Amino acid sequence: MSGHIVNVPQPQCAYNASKAAVIQLTKSLAVEWAKRNVRVSSISPGYIGTGLTLNAPKLIPLIEKWNEMAPMGRMGKPEELEAICVYLAGDTSSFTTGSDFVIDEAFTCF
């Protein structure tokens, strides 16, 4: 989601800019590689409670704030991204390319 919004309260302009670049790279590669039958899409997850996130000393103080700001009041779980990964890897997504899927509990909606 960091390619779509400015995350607060943490300062991370370089991180956000790099995520926005990934989204544009996804779109560019999708157009360039379509004739080769290569599909390129991206996933923009919200805050996900991974082992790395939940145990990083610099992030632990931010987790409570993120949850307060989140419409559903919680971080996502890694397994909540599985279905979109299976879709993108499978034949049912054969007409899907150049798409960015925002899976963020509506965090980017405000």
Determine the Cα–Cα distance for residues 28 and 42; give it in Å rounded to an integer: 12
Residues 14-43 as b or e (16 or more Cβ within 10 Å = b): eebeebeeebeebbebbeeeeeeeebbbbe
Active-site annotation holds for 15: yes
Cβ burial of 6 (10 Å; 0-12, 13-18, 19+) is exposed
Which of 8, 10, 15, 72 is catalytic? The answer is 15
- Active centre residues (catalytic): 15
